[in-house]
Chain A
Amino acid sequence: MRIIFTAIALLIIYQTAILFGAVPFGTGRDNVETNCITSENWRYKKSLPDVILVGSSKTNFIDYDVLGPKFFHLGYGGQGCLTGLEILHKSRHIPKLILVEVSDTLQWPANTQCVNLGTSEYAIGDWILPMQHRYEPCGVLLHALCPQQIPNDFSREKLIAIQTHQLSIPLREDRRLQLSKNIARAKMMMNDLRSRGATVVLFDIPVERSVSETQFVREASEFVNAQFSTADFAKINYPSSLQHLRTRDGTHLLPSDGTAFSLWLGEALKKL
């Protein structure tokens, strides 16, 4: 019994520390955890943001300090915009402006766990705060002791080369079918969000040039862009000067390039 009491005492102490703000949010220790934390950040947000960016992990590497506190993002690693759209679709309150990343990442369907975590009526973490993913002790330790670092040039080159090699394949018919299905679902949700008063704008984030020129990304992007006509959906396209931004691994922007993209995005949104 003493063991169980000790565990309960530790839970109470940790919960108290969280309530008093003594525990910072942790970092996801892997993709699954990071995605869960993204959903929790939406679930437990203090106020509704003005603008939300919905997309893949590319969205996580934009400089949100530049964009300001009214911006929020639902970017999911290994997934596309569908997870974020499903969350907004099921949420009672939605922001005024929704930016949706449309790219080859639309091939990935929504993740049920992330959607549920962001929208379900009840979650155990609502009452027992230590059971929220963002307060997992190892994630908190990781965040405090070991910040994410930027790969050196050698690693970058290698990682970009690997990704370029892996994406040098044609867009298979089954993937094309999956894309069509996902696009139809995305359109349905975007129309619903618009009918609820939100403005939906499409956008994309640049990737490494060699990656964007691979057969798969090229064919998938062309296919996706053809499905979203400009007559139906407003889209902001990044200028050619931003086409050659540098990335960590072929897909995710380096901090300085993330800042450059954010500055442009902020300006582009002002013009809307």
Chain B
Amino acid sequence: MLFNTLEFGLFFVVVFALYYSPLLKNWQTKFLIAASFVFYSWHQPQWSILLVFSIVLNAFVSWKIASSADRSYRLKWAIVCVAINVLLLFLFKYASLLGFVAAKLSHSSRLAEIVSDVMLPVGISFYTFEGISLLVDSYKNRNREERQNPAGFPQHLKNTALFFSFFPHLAAGPIVRPYQFFPQIERKEFSNIQWNFVIETLIVGYFFKNVVADNLVVHTSGVLTDCGSFSSINDIAALLGYSARIFSDFAGYSLIAIGLAAALGYQLPPNFNFPYRSQSLAEFWHRWHITLSTWIRDYLYIPMGGNKKGEMRTYLNLIAVMFLGGLWHGGKIGFALWGLFHGVLLCAERVLKLNRANHNVWIISSRILCTFVLVTIAWLLFALPLHLVPHYFASVIANGKFSINYQHVFLISLFSAPVIVWHLCDLLREKQIVFPGKVFALGSMLFLIVTDSGVPQDFVYFQF
């Protein structure tokens, strides 16, 4: 079920009404789990089994780990279960890649067909990472309150089930940590809802998704895949628009998830912090898909030694981590190259010491511009199949004489403008200038959601 559909709207209204009704006052958690499974099973009921398996396995093992004082016993359980999680993710995520390789080796096209038909269960990348963090945190004693839980394993199982399946973040994050979520599981009161926060977050989220991202789809992906038929300016505009689109799609989704969770009394961590005003790629990764980058930092980069084992090792770790981060998006060579591209540039930044603070406005502006351009060029590997990337650059060079389609440029500018304004608002906030007409701006966004939404599209990150 997609957040931007009428069926979800009806689903949420019913869930919300029942959730806060006196009838279900003592059953809120169980009801939310049931509702989440309905949400998850709507289009892919078969994968609920996998979700149940993941919940039971991780709840059982994390409970075992947390209940034992024997360090080697805890470690053994943690390693085995993390390996199972990774294996499951690997099997589903890279089935098509594995099938492709196996078919090449065995010269069997039927094998490739069978394996490529394996659908990716929605949300597996997200709940698997949450499962791993539950296990590791249990091993490291980060979930003390769970360990001391007097209600025992059934309560832990229930909490874990909600932690995994909570529908606002189930399909595409934000990736939540157990220590952030478990303490929040308690009875919620209607009177405690932060209505201003909920309404503002939902309006901005739906505006970014329905008005900005959905309207940019045709003018970005459509043009990029057919770049040979457009002028250089249009091709460049399409790529810039794609940058705005991928931000508004995912940031919009995250804001909707945060807003829906807040309506149900839960606080989800922010996922985006105005990433396109970053002055370096290192800063970009502190601002883009924050919950994934902090997860990778805590569960991959730091255990690998982080930056504590010398310069060379730091560079290697950075490249390896970004490579794996790229592969997390799927079994395509383009994603791996995208990760490598970022990894290498992060190393270059460290070598050239470009991370250091500077107060010159021109230097800051040029750094922001350079970072944005590099990030945008890298999005090509997301936007296009790998074999079309050289074709894109060839079209940009060769199509200079093409007539510019000004309507296309106008639409890209019009729908990308909110992304620029959104980032400028943060600059204003930083300079402690109160954004004038906030209510009018939000009212206008709501007006545009009603009148100017694009054709509803899947969320980009659902495929990951």
Contact = CB atoms under 8 A, between A and B. Distances in A.
Contact of A32 (B410, B447, B450, B455): B455
A97 to B, nearest CB: 33
B231 interface: yes
Interface stretch (B23-31, B72-80, B165-173, B400-408): B400-408
Nearest to B219: A30
A194 B215 CA distance: 41
Given A2-B439, A130-B451, A138-B452, A10 B406 contact: no
A3 B439 contact: yes
A231 to B, nearest CB: 42
A135 interface: yes
Given A151-B403, A159-B229, A162-B229, A3 B446 contact: yes
A30 B218 contact: yes
A142 B403 contact: no
B440 interface: yes
A149 B406 contact: yes
A10 B455 contact: no
A10 B447 contact: yes
A5 B231 CA distance: 44
Given A155-B402, A158-B229, A162-B229, A142 B407 contact: yes
B411 interface: yes
A84 to B, nearest CB: 21
Given A11-B450, A136-B451, A154-B403, 15 more contacts: A5-B443, A10-B443, A10-B444, A29-B215, A30-B219, A30-B222, A135-B451, A138-B415, A138-B452, A148-B407, A150-B403, A151-B402, A154-B401, A155-B231, A155-B403
Contact of A6 (B215, B218, B401, B439): B439
Interface string A1-42: 011111101110010000000000001011110000000000
Contact of B450 (A31, A131, A149): A131
Contacts of B399: 158
A4 to B, nearest CB: 7
A7 B443 contact: yes
A159 B399 CA distance: 11
29 contacts: A3-B203, A3-B439, A4-B443, A4-B446, A5-B443, A6-B443, A7-B443, A11-B450, A11-B451, A14-B451, A27-B407, A29-B215, A29-B407, A32-B455, A137-B452, A138-B215, A138-B414, A138-B415, A141-B414, A146-B406, A146-B410, A148-B407, A149-B405, A154-B401, A154-B402, A155-B231, A155-B401, A158-B402, A159-B229
B199 interface: yes
Contacts of B443: 2-7, 9-10
Interface string B187-219: 000000000000110010000000000010011
Contact of B442 (A6, A135, A137, A152): A6
Candidate in A10, A142, A152 with the most chain B CB atoms within 10 angstroms: A10
A264 B26 CA distance: 78
A241 B9 CA distance: 58
Given A11-B447, A14-B451, A29 B200 contact: no
A145 interface: yes
Interface string A121-154: 0000000001100011110011001101111101
Nearest to A4: B446
Contacts of B405: 149
A162 B229 CA distance: 8
Nearest to B407: A146
In terms of DSSP, what is the predominant structure of the interface of chain B?
helix
Interface in B366-389: none
B452 to A, nearest CB: 5
Contacts, number: 95
Candidate in A131, A145, A158 with the most chain B CB atoms within 10 angstroms: A158
A130 B215 contact: no
Interface string B434-464: 0000011011101110111001000000000
B270 interface: no
Contact of A130 (B229, B231, B450): B450
A148 B455 CA distance: 22
A6 B199 CA distance: 13
A131 B451 contact: yes
A3 B451 contact: no
Contacts of A150: 403
Contacts of B219: 29-30
Contacts of B215: 29, 138
B265 interface: no
Interface in A217-265: none
A9 to B, nearest CB: 7
Contact of A3 (B403, B415, B442, B450): B442
B228 interface: yes
A13 B411 CA distance: 24
Given A5-B443, A158-B229, A137 B411 contact: no
B407 to A, nearest CB: 5
B227 to A, nearest CB: 11
B411 A142 contact: yes
B9 to A, nearest CB: 14
B455 A3 contact: no
Nearest to A3: B442
B439 A149 contact: no
Interface string A148-188: 11111011001100100000000000000000000000000
Contacts of B402: 151-152, 154-155, 158
Given A10-B447, A155-B402, A29 B439 contact: no
Interface string B318-362: 000000000000000000000000000000000000000000000
A158 B401 CA distance: 10
Given A2-B439, A138-B452, A152-B403, A7 B414 contact: no
A5 B443 CA distance: 7
A6 B405 CA distance: 35
The 9 closest A-B pairs by CB, nearest first: A6-B443, A7-B446, A10-B447, A152-B403, A30-B218, A146-B410, A154-B401, A3-B442, A7-B443
Candidate in A7, A149, A150 with the most chain B CB atoms within 10 angstroms: A7
B440 A6 contact: yes
A151 B408 CA distance: 13
